[in-house]
Structure 1
Amino acid sequence: MSQSARITLLLLLFSAAVVIAITSGKYSLTVNELWTVVSSKLTGHIEESRTATVFWQIRLPRVLAAILIGGGLAIAGAAYQGMFRNPLVSPDILGVSSGAGVGAVLGIFLGHSMLSIQLFAFVGGLITVALVYFIAKLAKQQDPVLSLVLVGIAISALCGSAISLMKILADPYTQLPSITFWLLGGLSTITAPDLLSVAPLMLLGFIPLILLRWRMNILSLSDEEARSLGLNVEITRLIFILSATLITASAVFYCGHYWLVRFNCSAYRKIVSWC
């Protein structure tokens, strides 16, 4: 199958998935109703109906958020898999998801508002990755990639212990259900303003990865081979880590933990190469 045929097939499957996601749910929508709502909006005719409310305020923001967050995690995962030369690497290999979990659980434990909890999660993820990077730099091992992975696993384990401790100390009737609900993750609370605020952060992480995508293949080689080709390995790796971390932290910022991605994390670069 040619590359154009593969891309066409993927676009068709993607379009079908979007239509199914928008029309399915507790309040089902037909394709005709969907077309009527969209065409009315395009023609300037404001239609105040339950169908329009469900589509514009509930279904569309959630579907767009799923596309943006899913695509962002896939790009971050592909970057990490190339950088660490391992097809089993997931976007939270450096502990960004675990750190965000600690931040969110701490915010809930301290009784902050939902916005503050999301900010705690975002900052917690960034701080965790920064901590992993600097500890790995202090290790001064011959293989810096291995140091990053090992330190990331260790810090993630510590974050998991911190989350468990706060769950034990939390109030079982008010705080613990909120902690459990956040850790499960989901897009049920996404609104249009949320989508507009998270999109710029993700795009800010997309741009360096897209502009430097050709260096990702070089970084997949050993550090000595990459340096012999004129690549500044340390700076390039840092840029990739910062960009992928920003994307992942932005995703966790709104949807919480993303457990389903663990079941297909090894497919990112295979999908990219298949296209």
Structure 2
Amino acid sequence: MAKTACERAARGEASSRALVGVSIRRARLVTVAAAALLLVLAAVSLMLGRYPIDPAQAVLMLVDRVVPVERVWTNQQATLFFNVRLPRIALACMVGASLSAAGAAFQGTFRNPLVSPDVLGASQGAALGAAAALLAGAGSFAVSAWAFAAAMATVAVVMLVSARARASEHSLTVVLVGVMVSSLCQAGVSFAKLVADPSNQLPAITYWLMGSLTGARMADVLFAAVPMAAGAAVLLALRWRINLLTMGDDEARTMGVNARRLRMAVMVAATLLTAASVSVSGMIGWVGLVIPHVARMLIGCDYRRLLPASMLLGASFLLVVDNVSRLAYTAEIPIGILTAFLGAPFFLYLIMTRRRGA
């Protein structure tokens, strides 16, 4: 059977040395361009808002944190810059990069382009934890902590049940168990909404489920940074091995790799990214499903280059969506609504064009 393009990328093969050079040059160019775009978007986002901040003021405020300079800004501008915009922009970049990396990793691990970061039930588990915390009257930080703990516990249950199931196809079993556990968590969230106080608890639960970065604080950034950094570091370290998982367990074993152990490490790392993202931002869909496809269209299937590009593109995408959500209307639009409006039509377009090209 002829090798597919992804299999050739996984083995590092090509028909000619020139073709490999072109592919690498294009991937590097796209990655550098994506990094530059992210930096520009972050800088512009810091200055955008109903209370604009001049570029010179933004630069001087950042420099003043290291070396004291002459103040050309007001205390109100400094508070807005450091306590509102900077944490929100940092969190948007972190969540976008994490969801995109988790989606790409899961798609390669399960060899299924329709897999999203919530395939193991992490998002629904986080929703159940957040709903329970809101019912208990917990504060914003406690809600994030409950959501993260519930997400990790949900995935642990999925892993435990899958390990005890007697099935020949372990990957399919994990997905099916994840769907079932997600349904149970969704039922729990529905029950929480049923018994919630309609005057304050129910609106809070509903708004959290729509996904938003409103009220992001530096404490949220620090809370999510540790699991995100751990998950991203593992995935980046193993990104070349994910290529082997895309070819199947038998092929991985011939290369001297324990496919089941590798798959477990990738799933745990991707779950850390997903749980940390959902715990601080709520339910934001489509980012981890669509962005990896965009990255594949630009640089191909090789995870050595696909994973970093997906993270950069995901951060830029969510940063743009967050800017639209806070500036397009007088009342802020939840990010989850906008990502669905953008992601679903684009994914339908991908499906239709791929079918015509098949």
TM-score relative to the length of structure 1:
0.91
Give the AA of the match of 2:60.
T
Give the whole-Å Cα distance in 1 for the aligned partners of 2:223 and 2:153: 21
Find the partner of 1:7 among 18, 23, 31: 31
Structure 2 unaligned spans of 5+: 1-24, 301-305, 310-358
Measured on the aligned residues, the alpha-carbon RMSD in Å equals: 2.1
1:17 aligns with 2:41: yes
Find the partner of 1:237 among 256, 263, 272: 263
Give the AA of the match of 1:173.
S
1:155 aligns with 2:181: yes
Change (3 A) 1:2 1:118: closer
Find the partner of 2:193 among 144, 147, 167: 167
Give the AA of the match of 1:175.
Q
Give the whole-Å Cα distance in 1 for the aligned partners of 2:75 and 2:156: 48
Is the CA contact 1:62–1:190 (under 8 Å) kept in the aligned structure 2? yes
Change (3 A) 1:212 1:11: closer
**Post-superposition offset of 1:111:** 2.7
Change (3 A) 1:3 1:240: closer
Aligned partner of 2:230 in structure 1 is 204
Change (3 A) 1:20 1:46: same
Tell me which stretches of 4 or more aligned residues in structure 1 moved more than 6 Å: none
Alignment of 1:220-231 (within 5 A): 220-231=246-257
Structure 1 unaligned spans of 5+: none
Q: Which digits, 9 at most, give the CA deviation of each residue in 1:90-149, with x for residues without a partner?
A: 111111000010111112123333333222211110111111112222222221111111
**Post-superposition offset of 1:193:** 2.6
Relative to structure 2, which stretch is displaced further, 57-66 or 260-269?
A: 260-269
Is the CA contact 1:95–1:129 (under 8 Å) kept in the aligned structure 2? yes
Aligned partner of 1:261 in structure 2 is 287
TM-score relative to the length of structure 2:
0.71
Is the CA contact 2:30–2:299 (under 8 Å) kept in the aligned structure 1? no
Q: Which digits, 9 at most, give the CA deviation of each residue in 1:172-215, with x for residues without a partner?
A: 11210111121122112221232123212211112221222221
Is the CA contact 2:123–2:275 (under 8 Å) kept in the aligned structure 1? yes
SS of the counterpart of 1:2?
helix
